[in-house]
């Protein structure tokens, strides 16, 4: 489980400062159209209304990649998170741009009695709801069977026993029993400071993670103001093209065909549509194979010329798309 609460966002003054800095490289401060208002908008308290010009620039910089969107590192997000230790172990890989204050197991582990609410245990097997074959035997006689849910219950009982002994005696040996027996499913609370750039990295890397907690965290990211700045994918730059070359590119793009940067660069420089074509005489995956001798030289560079007719024989639906799109353009 994971719980996210007490979210604190950037103040209007902070957002004004961020946008001012974002526009520094081009001295375009006069184009800023954001303003503060006392209305029920996306930003809390004294509300900040992000203008269309500023939002458009933010989105373009965000799409361009981390080296262009430095402003995102300056937009803070504060949140109080309760999550199991096994999730925090992964969260702690994000060191740059994060600060956290946590509830201490060192000082306060004995503060309250342990119960199931202190643990993330929603996926533990329970013989009452699952095949008994998923349980294990605790003795050689094979007459005592327990499942995951039982083992957590036993662990809680042991933790509470040593907690009581520690409170009674203050002997550190009992404190050590709690510290070293505490399972990674124990829920810990931390107040965390993040920023939009860190959240963008987390979202890209964790949105399809196997842990429920990460997927829930990414859903929370999607609920933040202007989350499209965080969740949008970086767009590859396209080489400048003109005339017939651009027309070919537009036709391919409308047909749903995506080219690599190298292919686009070859298209721009050589005036032909360069695309890998399988060489029937050689295997592409064979190590040490030099395939350049089977392709023509154009402007001193070896390129692989895309044979639309041969490819269309194997992919008739693609050829039909090209013909239909070209016909529509001519009309």
Is there a contact between 309 and 316 (Cβ–Cβ < 8 Å)?
A: no
Is there a contact between 182 and 88 (Cβ–Cβ < 8 Å)?
A: no
Are 208 and 90 in the same domain? yes
Instruction: Flag whether 238 is in a domain.
Output: no
| 77 beta partners | 9, 194
Q: Tell me how many degrees the CA angle 105-106-109 measures, rounded to the nearest 5.
A: 45
Instruction: Flag whether 33 is in a domain.
Output: yes
Question: What are 301-321's pLDDT values in tens digits?
Answer: 444 444 555 556 666 676 666
Instruction: Flag whether 250 is in a domain.
Output: yes
pLDDT at 239: 46
Are 257 and 119 in the same domain? no
pLDDT at 274: 44
Checking DSSP bridges between strand 47-49 and strand 145-146, what pairing results, if any? unpaired
Distance CA 144, CA 197 (A): 52
Instruction: Flag whether 76 is in a domain.
Output: yes
Distance CA 2, CA 89 (A): 14
Structural domain ending residue among the three candidates 167, 200, 231: 231
pLDDT at 294: 38
Q: Give the range among 54-58, 267-271, 293-297 with minimum mean pLDDT.
A: 293-297
Residue with more model confidence, 136 or 193: 193
Question: pTM for this structure?
Answer: 0.68
Distance CA 205, CA 94 (A): 11
pLDDT at 269: 58
Q: What is the SS3 string spanning the chain?
A: CCEEEEEEECCHHHHHHHHHHHCCCCCCHHHCCCEEECCCCCCCCCEEECCHHHHHHHHHHHHHCCCCCHHHHHCEEEEEEEEEHHHHHHHCCCCCCCEEEECCHHHHCCCCCCCHHHECCCCCCCCCCCCHHHCEECCCCCCCEECHHHHHHHHHHHHHHHHHHHHHHCCHHHHHHHHHHCCCCEEEEEEEEEEHHHHHHHHHHHCCCCCHHHHHHHHHHHCCCCCHHHHCCCCCCCCCCCHHHHHHHHHHHHCCCCCCHHHHHHHHHHCCCECCCCCCCCCCCCCCCCCHHHCCEECCEECCECCHHHHHHHCHHHHHHHHHHHHHHHC
Checking DSSP bridges between strand 136-137 and strand 187-195, what pairing results, if any? unpaired
pLDDT at 127: 74
For 27, the token pair is 């001295």
Are 156 and 16 in the same domain? no
Question: What are 85-129's pLDDT values in tens digits?
Answer: 999 999 999 999 999 999 998 899 999 999 999 999 999 988 776
Residue 249 has pLDDT above 70, yes or no: no
Are 84 and 144 in the same domain? no
Are 227 and 249 in the same domain? no
Structural domain ending residue among the three candidates 231, 258, 292: 231
Inter-CA distances, 53 with 28, 35, 42, 286, Å:
11, 12, 17, 52
Are 86 and 154 in the same domain? no
Instruction: Flag whether 128 is in a domain.
Output: yes
Instruction: Flag whether 162 is in a domain.
Output: yes
Are 194 and 93 in the same domain? yes
Instruction: Flag whether 312 is in a domain.
Output: yes
Among 36, 42, 74, which residue's Cα sits nearest to residue 58? Answer: 74
pLDDT at 48: 84
Residue 228 has pLDDT above 70, yes or no: yes
Share of residues in the chain with pLDDT > 70 (%):
63
Among 265, 247, 271, 244, which residue's Cα sits nearest to residue 322? Answer: 247
Are 121 and 174 in the same domain? yes
Are 172 and 195 in the same domain? no
Question: What are 11-25's pLDDT values in tens digits?
Answer: 999 999 999 999 999
Are 94 and 44 in the same domain? yes
| Residue 313: exposure state from Cβ atoms within 10 A (0-12, 13-18, ≥19) | exposed
Q: Give the range among 115-119, 233-237, 254-258, 283-287 with minimum mean pLDDT.
A: 283-287
Are 8 and 92 in the same domain? yes
Q: Give the range of the structural domain holding residue 94, as residue numbers without chain letter.
A: 3-99+189-231
Distance CA 312, CA 119 (A): 58
Q: For the chain, what is the mean pLDDT? A: 80
Q: What is the mean pLDDT of residues 215-222?
A: 97
Distance CA 47, CA 56 (A): 19
pLDDT at 116: 95
Are 83 and 197 in the same domain? yes
Instruction: Flag whether 104 is in a domain.
Output: no
Look at the chain and report how many structural domains it folds into.
3
């Amino acid at each position: 489980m994971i719980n996210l609460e007490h979210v604190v966002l950037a103040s209007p003054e902070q957002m004004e400062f961020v946008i001012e800095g974002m526009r520094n490289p081009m001295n375009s401060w006069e184009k800023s159209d954001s303003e503060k208002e006392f209305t029920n908008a996306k930003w809390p308290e004294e509300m900040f209304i992000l203008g269309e010009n500023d939002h458009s620039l933010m989105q373009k910089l965000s799409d361009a990649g981390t080296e262009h969107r430095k402003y995102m590192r300056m937009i803070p997000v504060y949140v109080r998170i309760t999550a199991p230790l096994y999730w925090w172990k992964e969260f702690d890989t994000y060191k740059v741009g994060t600060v956290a204050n946590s509830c201490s197991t060192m000082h306060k582990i004995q503060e309250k009695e342990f119960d199931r609410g202190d643990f993330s245990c929603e996926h533990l097997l329970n013989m009452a709801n699952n095949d008994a074959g998923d349980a294990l035997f605790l003795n050689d006689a094979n007459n005592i069977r327990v499942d995951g849910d039982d083992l957590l219950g036993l662990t809680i009982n042991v933790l509470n026993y040593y907690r009581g002994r520690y409170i009674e005696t203050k002997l550190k040996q009992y404190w050590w029993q709690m510290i070293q027996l505490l399972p990674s499913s124990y829920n810990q609370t931390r107040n965390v400071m993040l920023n939009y750039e860190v959240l963008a990295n987390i979202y890209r890397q964790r949105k399809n993670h196997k842990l429920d907690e990460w997927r829930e965290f990414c859903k929370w990211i999607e609920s933040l103001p202007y989350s499209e700045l965080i969740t949008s994918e970086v767009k590859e730059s396209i080489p400048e093209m003109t005339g017939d070359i651009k027309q070919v590119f537009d036709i391919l793009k409308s047909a749903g065909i995506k080219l690599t940067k190298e292919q686009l660069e070859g298209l721009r420089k050589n005036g032909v549509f360069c695309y890998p074509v399988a060489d029937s005489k050689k295997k592409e995956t064979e190590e040490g194979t030099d395939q350049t001798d089977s392709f023509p030289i154009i402007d001193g560079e070896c390129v692989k010329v895309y044979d639309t007719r041969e490819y269309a024989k194997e992919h008739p639906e693609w050829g039909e798309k090209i013909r239909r799109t070209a016909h529509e353009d001519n009309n």
